[in-house]
Chain A
Amino acid sequence: AQSVTQLGSHVSVSEGALVLLRCNYSSSVPPYLFWYVQYPNQGLQLLLKYTSAATLVKGINGFEAEFKKSETSFHLTKPSAHMSDAAEYFCAVSALTSTPLVFGKGTRLSVIA
C-alpha cells in the first residue's frame, strides 16, 4: 500500500524567497511520485513527476523536486517565489502505471508581497 505525508498544511513565504514544500511517501514497491498544483475552483495540474529516471526532476514554472530513497522524500522547491505561485500543492504516489494516485492532504502556499 502507498501513502503520502505532506508536512505543513499551510506555508507562507515572501515574494522572491525560497519555496520548500515537504513530502514523504511510503510504498511497498518502487514508486512513481508526482506534484500537482490546484488553483481555486480549478482541477489539478501536473507540475512534475518522478518515474525512476533522474532523481532531480524539473517541472513547469521553475519548480523542481528531488527523489531521495533513503529519506523516502520528494520535496518540492523553487528558488524564488512569485505571487502567481499561491495555490494548493499536492504530492501523490502510485505503484505502477495506470493505477490510481494516492494523494497527500495538500499544502496551501501563500506568497506575501
Chain B
Amino acid sequence: EAGVAQSPRYKIIEKRQSVAFWCNPISGHATLYWYQQILGQGPKLLIQFQNNGVVDDSQLPKDRFSAERLKGVDSTLKIQPAKLEDSAVYLCASSSRGPKTYEQYFGPGTRLTVT
C-alpha cells in the first residue's frame, strides 16, 4: 500500500511570494489533515477535511492560507503572501473510516523556507 505522498519536498521563497503544496493521501482514506511543524515544536493542525468538506479550520490563518480537497482525494495548501514566520515543515496526514480511524498516517512533509 502506497503511503501519503507530498510534493515538493523542499521550497525556498522570498517573503510576500506565494507557494502551494500538494498532498495525495492513502487510497480510500476519507479524512485528510494538514499540520504545520515549526522548528523545535510539535505539529499543529491547520485544517481537517472529511472527504471534500472542511471539518476544522479554526487554526488556519485565513487571510493568507487556503486549502482545498477537490473530489475528496488530493489536497492543495496555498500560502499567499508568505511571511517569514511561515517557515516550517508542512505535514499531510490521512486516516480511514474503518476500525482504525484514530490512526493517522503522515507524509514526508514539505520544508518551506521563507527568506
Chain A residues engaging chain B, CB cutoff 8 angstroms:
4, 9, 32, 36, 41-46, 49, 51, 90, 92, 94, 97-106
Tell which of A4, A44, A99 touches B91, judged by Cβ atoms closer than 8 Å: A44
Number of A-B contacts (CB under 8 A): 56
Contact A98 B109 (CB under 8 A): no
Tell which of A9, A44, A98 touches B43, judged by Cβ atoms closer than 8 Å: A44
With A90-B42, A92-B42 known, 16 other A-B pairs at CB within 8 A are A41-B108, A43-B91, A43-B108, A44-B43, A44-B91, A44-B106, A45-B106, A46-B103, A46-B104, A97-B102, A98-B50, A98-B101, A100-B56, A104-B42, A105-B40, A105-B42
Total chain B interface residues with beta-carbon distance under 8 A: 26
Interchain CA distance A4-B31 in the complex, whole Å = 23
Interchain CA distance A32-B44 in the complex, whole Å = 17
Contact B48 A100 (CB under 8 A): yes
Chain B residues engaging chain A, CB cutoff 8 angstroms:
4, 31, 33, 40-45, 48, 50, 56, 91, 93, 95, 97, 101-109, 111
Interchain CA distance A93-B105 in the complex, whole Å = 15
Contact B95 A98 (CB under 8 A): yes
Interchain CA distance A4-B95 in the complex, whole Å = 21
Contact B43 A101 (CB under 8 A): yes
Residues of B within 8 A of A45 (CB): 106
